[in-house]
Amino acid sequence: MPKTAGHLALIGLSGSGKSSVGLLLAGALGLPFVDTDREVERAAGMEIHRIFSRHGEEEFRRLEAEQVARALAGPPAVISLGGGAVVSERNRELIWSRATVVWLRADPEELARRLALQQGSEERPLLSGGAPAARLKVLLRERERYYSLAHVQVETDGLSAPEVAERVLAALGRARE
């Protein structure tokens, strides 16, 4: 059963809407919004793709774990987590113990279309080196067992960010009854 107060953590693959939906949810719930990817960039003084190219994924994951812990130690907030944050057992323990977790689900083909409308793939290092839809399918297979542990799951295919936010709020209301 999800917590009735505290953090709301959004998980899912790149392009699932964690940042855009998170901002809307924060406004609707009167909570601050924290994007752990942006916090990693701020702390490192460089963009994520540069962290990967200069220091590797292991260093990025270390920085990410610091920002996840920091966000969850702070006052209640809507937190957008990087797509791979749930792979770390320590992150999962923190996230699930301190937040209501919402998985924004989407088909990898849909995600690839969304991401194609955004900036270049170099900004998403785990999607580089091949067809984004194929890479997203692999990432989903690797992460789905963690994503599926979410307290709430909301399908996002074909929906706008405001529509997804409405569905999340409705699902949270049902889960808390």
171 assigned to some structural domain: yes
Collapse the DSSP code of 150 into the 3-class scheme (helix H, G, I; strand E, B; otherwise coil) and give the result: coil
2 assigned to some structural domain: no
Range of the domain at 147: 7-176
1 assigned to some structural domain: no
**Cβ neighbours of residue 175 closer than 8 Å, sequence gap 6 or more:** 1, 2, 100, 151, 152
**Cβ neighbours of residue 176 closer than 8 Å, sequence gap 6 or more:** 2, 4
94 assigned to some structural domain: yes
74 assigned to some structural domain: yes
What confidence category does residue 4 fall into, taking pLDDT thresholds of 50, 70 and 90?
Answer: very low
**Cβ neighbours of residue 39 closer than 8 Å, sequence gap 6 or more:** 67, 70, 71
- Return the CATH number at 88: 3.40.50.300
Could you report the per-residue pLDDT of 77-116, keeping only the tens digit for each?
A: 999 999 999 999 999 999 999 999 999 999 988 888 877 7
| Domain count of the fold of the chain | 1
- Annotate 51-75 with b (16+ C-beta within 10 A) or e (fewer): bbeeeeeeebbebbbebbbebbeee
Could you report the per-residue pLDDT of 21-64, keeping only the tens digit for each?
A: 999 999 999 999 999 999 999 999 999 889 988 998 899 999 99
102 assigned to some structural domain: yes
Could you report the per-residue pLDDT of 127-139, keeping only the tens digit for each?
A: 555 677 888 898 8
